[in-house]
Amino acid sequence: MRPRRFAVCLLLAVSGSAAAQPPRSPRARDLGVPFAFGAPGRENAITDVAGVLVGHTTLVEGDSVRTGVTAILPRGRGDAARTPCFGAVFSLNGNGEMTGTHWVRESGIVEGPIVLTNTNAVGVVRDAIIDYAARRWPPEGDGWTVWSLPIVAETWDGTLNDIYGRHVKAEHLGAAIDTAASGPVAEGGVGGGTGMICYEYKGGIGTASRVLAEASGGHTVGVLVQANHGLRHQLRIAGLPVGLELRDGLRRKEEAGSIIIVIGTDAPLLPHQLERLCRRAALGLARTGSVAGNGSGDIFIAFSTANAAIGETERTVSLNMLPNERMGALFEATVGATEEAIVNALVAGRTTIGFRGHTVVGLPLERVRDILKRHRLLEPTR
């Protein structure tokens, strides 16, 4: 069984990567959903931040395996990936796990990939990152390798996935890293998002970006979410309380989902400035209606790919910093891209049957369009 599962996983991993990208399904913006705060980048994805790669390992097998791993590599996969980034975290509601954050907070540094998976797989994936690095960059003497305090975050997929079956293995982390690519990012039920549920619809991975006007610095902000949060009645799209109308397929449980939000930028921000971006992700989340329920692990992480010299450990390092006074446009970009990434995750969700026959329906796109149209908020589609 195990070889077969792995084969499936690799296949899906490849199909989730840029190389074999099928004709892309329409995304929220394609459907006429309006979004605020400027224009997206080429892919409207976190990969619009130069150098950032995203890879998914998607595990769909039999009746009950619906899970996976998503890896975001801030500085790609080669030796450049040994260079840390400035980074920061913020926990809006800490009913969840993101490992490695004590050191992010202390050092202001994100080292290695940021990996998303299911709740019960955090440990195996976390250790697998260390082993992956140790194979690629063996530790010297009795020292350690890079990536020794790995960053792994989770949301709970136990409704659609046999989460106690422990189907995520170390090799799935490797596959996600090794197939990570720039360009378009598969969304919805892929990678770590495979079994996720958002506002009681099928959720999962979503992404979006904003490119600032040159006058505002021309920087790019990209956001990627693993969206597994929210109750239906809270859902807002384009500001409209669509969740009050869309009452199909309710699961009517206490919220126990979560959302992990990853923010990348090429703006030269220091750690304390990146923490400011993290807090803005909360504002983007709020625009989709969430109140960050008690059961929700809403933990956000930001990194900047600028300042590539910070890997230096011996000598004083030269850095660039964007003044705080110039951050307003980045705040808007973060809020806008976060809101859009979440709606993209919903739009990409497809009705899914999983563990014990549990079914989660996908967002009914036509009905959403109808509601927006009725309220004169639907934008003309291209």
**Is residue 296 flagged as an active site residue?**
yes
Window 329-368: residues binding a second copy (CB under 8 A): 331-332, 334-335, 355-356, 358
The 210-249 contact track toward a second copy, x by CB under 8 A, reads -------x----------------x-x-xxxx--------
Contact 244, 220 (CB under 8 A): no
* Closest distance to a second copy from the beta carbon of 188 (Å): 21
Site size for a second copy (CB under 8 A): 107
What is the C-alpha to C-alpha distance for residues 347 and 280, in angstroms, rounded to an integer?
A: 23
The footprint of a second copy on residues 285-314 (CB under 8 A) is: 285-287, 290-295, 297, 299, 310, 312-314
Is 165 an interacting residue with respect to a second copy (CB under 8 A)?
no
Residue list 268-287, contact with a second copy (CB under 8 A)? 268, 270-273, 276, 279-280, 282-287
Binder of a second copy out of 51, 158, 249, 364 (CB under 8 A): 158
How far does CA 188 lie from the centroid of its chain?
11
From edge to edge, which strands make up the β-sheet containing 114-118?
Answer: 53-61, 65-73, 114-118, 151-155
Site for a second copy in 168-197 (CB under 8 A): none
Q: Which of 64, 290, 298, 304 is catalytic?
A: 298
Burial (Cβ within 10 Å: 0-12, 13-18, ≥19) of residue 8: middle
Instruction: Compare residues 185 and 219 and give the one whose CB is closer to a second copy.
Output: 219
Residue tagged active-site, from 17, 64, 209, 258: 258
Restricted to residues 57-86, the positions that interact with a second copy (CB under 8 A) are none
Q: Residues 182, 290, 296, 304: which is the catalytic one?
A: 296
Cα–Cα dist 106/149, whole Å: 12
DSSP letter string, 209-255:
EEE--GGGT--EEEEEEEEE---GGG--BTTB-GGGT--TT------
Among 9, 116, 149, 262, binds a second copy (CB under 8 A): 149
- By CB under 8 A, name the one of 9, 71, 92, 301 that touches a second copy: 92
Question: In the complex with a second copy, which residue's Cβ is closer, 265 or 290?
Answer: 290
Determine, following the binding rule CB under 8 A, whether residue 328 of this chain makes contact with a second copy: yes
Work out whether 375 is an interface residue with a second copy (CB under 8 A).
yes
In the Cβ-directed half-sphere of 40, how many Cα atoms lie within 13 Å? 27
| 146 in Cβ contact with 110 (< 8 Å) | no
Residue selected from 62, 144, 248, 381 as contacting a second copy according to rule CB under 8 A: 144
User: Can 318 be counted among the known catalytic residues?
Assistant: no
Token pair of 258 as six digits: 């979560």
CB atoms within 10 A of CB 43: 18
Closer CB to a second copy, 18 or 306, in the complex = 306
Q: What are the tokens at 154? A: 């989770």
- Contact of 145 with 81, CB cutoff 8 Å: no
Residue 131 has φ and ψ, to the nearest 5°, of -65, -40
Token readout for 355 is 């563990």
Q: Which of residues 99-128 bind a second copy (CB under 8 A)?
A: 99-109, 119-128
Q: How far is CA 305 from CA 86, 326, 357, in A?
A: 8, 18, 43
Instruction: Verify binding: residue 134, a second copy, rule CB under 8 A.
Output: yes
92 or 180: CB nearest a second copy: 92
Out of 19, 39, 317, 353, which residue is the one contacting a second copy (CB under 8 A)?
A: 317
Catalytic residue set = 258, 296, 298
